[in-house]
Amino acid sequence: RKEVEQDPGPFNVPEGATVAFNCTYSNSASQSFFWYRQDCRKEPKLLMSVYSSGNEDGRFTAQLNRASQYISLLIRDSKLSDSATYLCVVNEGSSNTGKLIFGQGTTLQVKP
Amino acid sequence: GAGVSQSPSNKVTEKGKDVELRCDPISGHTALYWYRQRLGQGLEFLIYFQGNSAPDKSGLPSDRFSAERTGESVSTLTIQRTQQEDSAVYLCASSLWGLLRYFGPGTRLTVT
């Protein structure tokens, strides 16, 4: 089983749609979680951290379910510019430093 | 301010040759990471430097791969006797504390 699993997609949605991505992780000791965005042939960039209580940043909402070891990202009112690959990222263990494990990514294509 | 920089941006080499990839982290960042991303794949952890601690080399795929870091500055990733399966984008990232990562633009390595 992969340490961080994501549905690779692609998810093809029309502008204005709401889309949700899910991610599961295998290490129950993991403490830190993130979503990164990667545009084609570009480096990944931090989109948002994921907090236990859930958090929102504009049109983006991230949630964490520790019991199920599951993370989600919801994008409301999709824009063409949201087209990218979304990477679920998990800290490997319980320490505050150390390596992050990246999921394979979920590709989103927003169509006009 | 300046971000993470990497050089060269592209490198084409013949199978069996050695290559050196360079990363200049953000000034003052104590942590430096190398990741590899093969075409259409997720990010694969290679190595992690944190201050003066011994590096975490657990992700290096073989003894042909090595990395050095001078103090808290530049890092060099060396691949000896390159193979075609080494073809990938090699990404460097740095952080000051915690788990936020700032990625460089990557070096695209092609082994012919």
- Residues from chain B contacting residue A99 (CB–CB below 8 Å): 33, 45, 48, 56, 58-59
**Torsion from C-alpha of B97, B99, B100, B106, nearest 10 degrees:** 110
Q: For tokens 């050695």, name the residue.
A: B18
**Predicted confidence band of residue B62 (pLDDT cuts 50, 70, 90):** very high
Residue by residue, DSSP assigns A10-63 as: -EEEETT--EEEEEEES-TT---EEEEEE-TTS--EEEEEE-TT-EEETTEEEE
Tens of pLDDT, residues B11-53: 999 999 999 999 999 998 888 999 999 988 889 999 989 888 8
> pLDDT at position B46, please?
94
What is the DSSP-derived secondary structure letter of residue B53?
Answer: S
Determine which of A5-19, B71-85, B89-103 has the lowest per-residue pLDDT on average.
Answer: B89-103
Q: Quick check: B101 contacting A, CB < 8 Å? A: yes
The A-side interface with B (CB below 8 A) comprises 32, 34, 42-46, 87, 91, 96-105
Residue B42: predicted pLDDT = 86
Instruction: Please report where in the chains the tokens 């990514």 appear, as a residue.
Output: A105
What residues of B are in contact with residue A87 (Cβ under 8 Å)?
42-43
Dihedral class, residue A9 (left if φ above 0, else alpha if ψ from -120 to 50, else beta): left
pLDDT for position A84: 97
| pLDDT reported for residue B99 | 64
**The two three-digit tokens of residue A45, written as one number:** 């960039």
Q: Higher pLDDT residue, A74 or A27?
A: A74
- B95 pLDDT tier (thresholds 50, 70, 90): confident
